[in-house]
Amino acid sequence: MLRLLRLTSLGAGLLLATASIAQTPANIPSGSTGLCKDGSYWSGPTKKGACHGHKGVQTWYGTPAASGATVVTPSAAPAAPAPAPVAKSAAPMPAATAAPGGAPDKVWVNSSTKVYHCPSDRYYGKTKSGTYMSEAEAVAQGDRPDHGKACGK
């Protein structure tokens, strides 16, 4: 009899533990797999690298929210509603726009770091200060290529 009572208590405890796992909220963007601590949403397939640059993961949903999956790693729900949902990718792009005057045969020389960027580089014409010139001119004045990769064709 005592054994039956223990098994019943154990079963009830497991049932309560399963029911207490939070469900994916209905107000999150479709395809979201996690909520970052800064209030933005993550839509990547794995938790590895999720919310990098967004203060880390607050809540992980595990699978896209459209399927109504349960939380894989339970955590406290946010106290207030999250700001407007913004899906984030793994590599945010810089907000700056390229400075006018670039050309396929020119490099952008960052005047503060003395590093030059090729037209295909992410920061071509987008650093705070710099100038366009030929790669030969940049090398002649002592500038070095970004990550040691020259633009030469």
Which whole number is the average pLDDT over 52-76? Answer: 61
Q: Per the confidence metrics, is the pTM higher than 0.85?
A: no
| Residue 70 DSSP one-character state | B
Predicted confidence band of residue 139 (pLDDT cuts 50, 70, 90): very high
Distance CA 4, CA 16 (A): 18
The predicted structure's pLDDT at residue 83:
59
Q: 36 near 58, Cβ under 8 Å?
A: yes
C-alpha triplet 54, 123, 55: angle, nearest 5°: 5
